[in-house]
Amino acid sequence: MALQQLTAQRLFEGWQKRFSHRSKTLQCDMQFSVYLPPQAEFHQVPALYWLSGLTCTDENFSAKSGAQRIAAELGIALIIPDTSPRGEGVPDAADGAYDLGLGAGFYVNATQAPWQQHYQMYDYITQELPKLCQANLPLTAQKSISGHSMGGHGALVIALREPELFCAVSAFAPIANPVQCDWGKKAFSAYLGEDQCNWDVYDASLLMTKLGSQLPMLVSQGEADQFMATQLFPEQLRQAAEASGTPLQLEIHPGYDHSYYFIASFIEQHLRFHAGYLLNNPLVE
């Protein structure tokens, strides 16, 4: 599968790049962003996959988080996919709503019309994109995953279902119990149908309760987040971790909201958390 480089900017002695490719999984052209630290010019480096939230593209995190400075120091690549399929023929919400359709793929494999042809974001993130990146970029097999809000939901769900793929997982303000919140109910009923049994495999709190995990896990939540009580439900995640013996490090930060200011404030902590496992605990292939 060929990558077309769209842009490249020098940044902290590394490179911020943007690529496009034809996705067989999503049946459309996709774009994603990559930060390659300076170490990647001399040898392969591990990668952190970052999943963004509702309305974002692959460019929000790279422009707003300030993550590249620490990634350059640590020698970690950042892989930043888009949040949904896009392009001509890709369905969107009929009313143009921000929480369904374009920019709102929820990292699931849709089973319902008209979404199922393109909205296969779970497979794209877990299979197609990593294979594409490792075939075309100077990356080792070691990778971790993180994300924000809808992307935090995606990161946790994917890590809980595919723990063998990752060294660690973290999330900022994740949608932790989507089967119980309006965002999740709307997206899941559209993408997965009305049978709620099909929703449970995309709910981090339910998965953690059922499966547990020994994967290192860090979650940061702003106490002033306007969505915490109605959409995010971090307490459900805490209870699931306690019930299953999962080593969850859940931190509640007073005064912080749901914005990229929150992410920028704590991204260094998350990157250093991931570096401890990406650089010191290589996966056995």
- Number of neighbouring beta carbons within 10 Å of residue 200: 13
Spatial contact of 57 and 105, defined as CB atoms under 8 Å apart: no
Active site residues per annotation: 149, 225, 258
pLDDT average, residue stretch 4-31:
98
Q: Which of 226, 232, 238 is nearest to 175 (CA)?
A: 232
Average pLDDT of the chain, as a whole number? 96
Q: Which residue has the higher pLDDT, 1 or 190?
A: 190
What's the CA gap between 215 and 166, in Å, rounded? 8
pTM score, whole prediction: 0.96
pLDDT at residue 52 tops 50: yes
pLDDT at residue 221 tops 90: yes
Residue 98 identity = Y
What's the CA gap between 64 and 70, in Å, rounded? 14
pLDDT at residue 81 tops 80: yes
Dihedral of alpha carbons 12, 174, 99, 115, sign: positive
All domains of the chain in start order, with CATH = 4-279 (3.40.50.1820)
pLDDT at residue 1, rounded to an integer: 64
pLDDT at residue 2, rounded to an integer: 85
Cβ neighbors of 235 (< 8 A, separation 6 or more) are none
Spatial contact of 61 and 151, defined as CB atoms under 8 Å apart: no
Residue 280 pLDDT grade (very low, low, confident, very high; cuts 50, 70, 90):
confident
Residue 282 pLDDT grade (very low, low, confident, very high; cuts 50, 70, 90):
very low
